[in-house]
Amino acid sequence: MSSCSKSLSSSSEDDSELRRGPWTLEEDTLLIHYISHHGEGKWNLAAKSSGLRRTGKSCRLRWLNYLKPDVKRGNLTPQEQLLILELHSKWGNRWSKIAQHLPGRTDNEIKNYWRTRVQKQARLFKIDTNSTAFQEIIRFYWMPRLLQKIEESSSSSGMIFQNSAIPQPLDTAYQHSAAAAQVPPGQGPLYLSQSLNHHEQNPDSDQHCTSSVNFSQIPQLSEYPSSGPFHAIADNEYETFLKGCYHADNSNYEMETLNLGSIRAPGNFENLISNSHAVERNWVDNDFSGGLCNMEGLWQTRN
């Protein structure tokens, strides 16, 4: 028995003191046993009646994030990552709402994924995750790469988008997936564009998406290599893409310009590249299992 659980059971005089910190096996067992007999809810009552010296909140959190039978463990699949990126673009940090669309995943897990993986990329570029620039990078480079991953895995397994994480009715992320999977040669951007336009016109979207990207300038999905998210993008393509982004409709970026001087102007693109190089130089291929789509690969093609 751990020292924690020992102290839990031996100090009857400290019953009024609440325990904190990591849960012990004994505590987990108590909580599971209680919920199996009384069901979820009434967490304060559960905390007292079960003999746990924990707050009701703590019990609830432990159950929902760890003990609940349908909690999924392990790395997020590309499908799940794609869904998170998509839903976050719609709803922002509404983790619990996003989690509702990923069966078995908790809001805490999704929140951790966003903070540790996605925000890391933003830090690399010294841009805000809420900025339009970063959203565009996710939408037009990260997500297509995830789509390709999904496509590759589905074609190798003979299964197409049957992951349980894909909700019904079709979400926009799923439409992206479907569009990518069925895209005829040379039609990638068109299909993607149609899908995205549908999203932008979706009245259910809490957050209006104003994309100023010139879709005709986006590299086609079929041109993405299997060796990494951004290796295939030719030296001038991302710059061209950015020009499309930032010149097509400058009004959308006026606010951003204040904070993102280095990335605003295509002419300063090298600054961004050198900044990112200073932070990290190692490109780790196929890092999607860990959730990380390292954009450094894009810059490495240039050197």
Where does this chain bind DNA (CB under 7 A)? 19-23, 41-45, 54, 56-58, 60-62, 65-66, 75, 93-97, 107-109, 111-113, 115-117, 120, 290-292
Which CB atom, from 54 or from 149, has the smaller least distance to DNA?
54
Instruction: Supply the minimum distance, in Å, between the C-beta of residue 270 and DNA.
Output: 23
- Would you say 60 or 149 has its CB closer to DNA? 60
Distance CA 175, CA 190 (A): 13
Tokens of 152: 């590759």
Minimum CB distance to DNA, residue 32 (Å): 13
Q: Which is nearer to DNA, 31 or 179 (CB)?
A: 31
Its sign, for the CA torsion 128, 300, 143, 116, is negative
* CB 89 within 8 Å of CB 138: yes
Residues 152 and 223: their CA atoms lie apart, in Å, by 14
Q: How far is the CB of 74 from DNA (least distance, A)?
A: 8
Residue in this structure with the two tokens 């559960």, named with its chain if needed? 46
Cβ at position 190, least distance to DNA in Å:
35
Closest distance to DNA from the beta carbon of 151 (Å):
24
The amino acid that residue 101 corresponds to is H
Residue 280 CB, shortest distance to DNA, in Å, is 7
Distance (Å) of CA 255 to CA 200, 267, 284: 21, 19, 34
Decide whether 10 or 282 has the Cβ nearer to DNA. Answer: 282
Q: Closer to DNA at the Cβ: 42 or 243?
A: 42
Smallest separation (angstroms) from DNA to the CB of 282:
7
- CB of 19 or CB of 101, closer to DNA: 19
- Residue 206 tokens read as 């809490």
Which own/partner contact pairs does 250-259 have at CB distance under 8 Å and 24+ positions apart?
Answer: 252/132, 252/210, 252/212, 253/132, 253/133, 253/212, 256/131, 256/132, 256/133, 259/127, 259/128, 259/131
| CA pair distance 234, 222, nearest whole angstrom | 14
Are residues 27 and 5 in contact, defined by beta-carbon separation less than 8 angstroms? yes
Q: For residues 22 and 203, which CB has a smaller minimum distance to DNA in the complex?
A: 22
